[in-house]
A = this chain, B = another copy of it.
Amino acid sequence: MSSATDTFVSENQERFLEELKELLRIPSVSTLPDHSDDVKRAAEFVAAKLRDAGMENVEVIATDRHPLIYADWLHAPGKPTVLCYGHYDVQPADPLELWNSPPFEPTVRDGNLYARGSADDKGQMYMHIKAVEALRAVNGTLPLNLKFLIEGEEEVGGASIAKYVAENHEKLKADVALVSDTNMYAPGLPTLNVGLRGMIYMEVEATGPMRDLHSGMYGGAAPNAVFGLVELLAKVKNARGEIKVPGVYDDIVPPSEEEKASWASLPFKEKEFLKNEVGSTKLTGESKYSVLERTWARPTFEVHGIAGGFTGAGSKTVIPAKATAKVSFRLVPNQDPDKVMAAFEKFVAKNTPRGIKTEVRVLGKSPGLLVKTDHPAIQIAARAFSDVFGKPTVFTRSGGSIPIVGDFAEQLGIPTILMGFGLPDDGLHSPNEKYNIENYYKGIMTIAHFFEQYGA
């Protein structure tokens, strides 16, 4: 295998890092309407870099919300076609006061690049483009056919790309998709994720009295929207972390014994996980399952945020009229999001306390997914990964959700290689998100190796 691309990457490290920093400076927060111009700017930046790398037919495609970017290079007849996916949008940076350096001013500390989106997913998405550049610079051509489809709505449900994939089967036809938006299991340990959880993300709104009421005059008789929501949400899980919505566990296929044995062999230390990653006094959840099984292969219910009533400084004695919570179910392979959703709606209707009205709004929905490990492209990806990192590749799952992988499977009928270079402590969606700079360079090399070997 070629070490020429490795050399090219090494020689261009500084520039590759500066280009990524430039992209990270654009606060392309897809969830906040104020940032829609920044999102557009990030899309144009990515499109320009695809053109510079030699990709053809580069399009910035307007959608109902944030633009998609398409590009292709199809001059390797008889060779496979890889569809590269990534996203250039990022999560909001709040709470800002917890960042040690500004979220949109990328800062290098201890071999890491700190910025919102450095790992999720700008830093990883950009490696695909730099791998193309490296291969073309060294060989004057590419070893296989490539298509890029990059979105700006991954953090807000990805409606536009889902629609685009559904409407463009022929244009997006490929043998396999490549996504770099996941973690390595541990530093230096090449990892391919073969399982993802799905998700239903919802807002639950509770309404009590018609307006905020004085708690002295009405307390004891008037329904309280915040307490009503609290009562309802508390019923969804019991103290053992089990979801009490009837039917939610019905269709779960447990991981195979081999999978469980392989997970048990991973360098997972519960005590360190608790102390260094979670940082609380105890772990929670269904204690009859291992932590890896709980986070990779069990459904969960979480409340992501809650707001209602008076929350300013000091005291205000109201019975609040309204309260809202953002909640989600994570789903495992074989669970049907629509079925779980229907069960939850029935549960909410049945358990809404007296005097309270509730409304459930679905903001996003995707199934869990398992990818087969015997596909040749996945085998080659594992080899390329091992080559660059010098260790055997492990197959794991991830508890996160990448809805597009489901769309690629259902709409295009192709498997997805989840070749991620993040690390477990990167702090995705949190303050002080970072990306390991060594992994950034080695990731570009690994992707180039994969393209070469898959096209060989």
A431: chain B residues within 8 A (beta carbon): 211-212
Nearest-neighbour CB distance to chain B for A34, whole angstroms, equals 10
A31: chain B residues within 8 A (beta carbon): 312-316
Tell me if B315 and A355 are in contact (CB < 8 A): no
A49: chain B residues within 8 A (beta carbon): none
A219 to B194, CA, bound (A): 18
Tell me if A303 and B295 are in contact (CB < 8 A): no
Which single residue of chain B is at the shortest CB-CB distance from A197? Answer: B216
A284: chain B residues within 8 A (beta carbon): 221-224, 353-355
Tell me if B306 and A401 are in contact (CB < 8 A): no
A429 to B219, CA, bound (A): 13
Contact A306:B230 (CB < 8 A) given known A220-B286, A278-B222, A284-B353: yes
Interface string of A371-403 (1 = CB under 8 A from B): 000000000000000000000000000111100
Tell me if B309 and A306 are in contact (CB < 8 A): yes
List the number of copies, as a whole number: 2
A78 at the interface (CB under 8 A from B): no
Tell me if A213 and B282 are in contact (CB < 8 A): no
Interface string of A103-147 (1 = CB under 8 A from B): 000000000000000000000000000000000000000000000
Tell me if A318 and B304 are in contact (CB < 8 A): yes
Interface string of A85-114 (1 = CB under 8 A from B): 000000110110010000000000000000
Tell me if A306 and B304 are in contact (CB < 8 A): no
Total interface residues in chain A, CB < 8 Å: 103
A264 at the interface (CB under 8 A from B): no
Tell me if A401 and B216 are in contact (CB < 8 A): yes
Contact A280:B156 (CB < 8 A) given known A234-B230, A430-B318: no
A77 at the interface (CB under 8 A from B): no
Tell me if B316 and A311 are in contact (CB < 8 A): no
Which single residue of chain B is at the shortest CB-CB distance from A428? Answer: B214
A424 at the interface (CB under 8 A from B): yes
A269 to B306, CA, bound (A): 35
Pick out which of these stretches binds chain B: A6-14, A247-255, A323-331, A444-452: A323-331
A364 to B291, CA, bound (A): 43
Contact A307:B304 (CB < 8 A) given known A227-B237, A233-B230, A430-B211: no
A294 to B216, CA, bound (A): 11
Tell me if A330 and B210 are in contact (CB < 8 A): no
Tell me if A319 and B302 are in contact (CB < 8 A): yes
| Nearest 3 Cβ contacts at the A-B interface | A210-B279, A216-B400, A305-B309
Having A217-B399, A217-B400, A218-B278, one finds 6 other A-B pairs with CB under 8 Å, namely A33-B313, A214-B428, A215-B330, A219-B399, A221-B284, A223-B282
